[in-house]
Amino acid sequence: MTDFTPNSTFLIVGIVFITIAVIGESKLAFIEINPGCFGRILALFIGISSLLYSCGLLNFSAVNLDLLRTYMTDLINRV
């Protein structure tokens, strides 16, 4: 069996939502997908953010937040 990592899951979700945003109204077997204008924009936003997260560009780990906090405290102390 194949284990799904969070990155591959976000990659698959991103591709699915981008496809929904681009295709719009479609029929898949017995399921009809018609997201409308707001649904397509929302699907595009979710798809892009999922793809960015899977690529590591939108990943906020505890280390990054700790580095940001120390940088900001040093910056405040200098002023």
Residue 1 lies in a domain: no
Task: For residue 59, give both structure tokens.
Answer: 């990943």
Rounded Cα–Cα distance for residues 58 and 76 (Å): 26
Within a domain: 45: yes
pLDDT at 10: 80
Domain count, the chain: 1
* 39 domain residue, yes or no: yes
Q: Is 51 left (phi over 0), alpha (psi -120 to 50) or beta?
A: alpha
Range of the domain at 41: 6-78
* pLDDT per residue rounded down to tens, the chain (79 residues): 456 666 678 888 888 888 888 887 777 677 777 778 888 888 888 888 888 887 776 555 555 667 777 877 887 888 6
- Which pLDDT score, from 0 to 100, does residue 60 have? 56
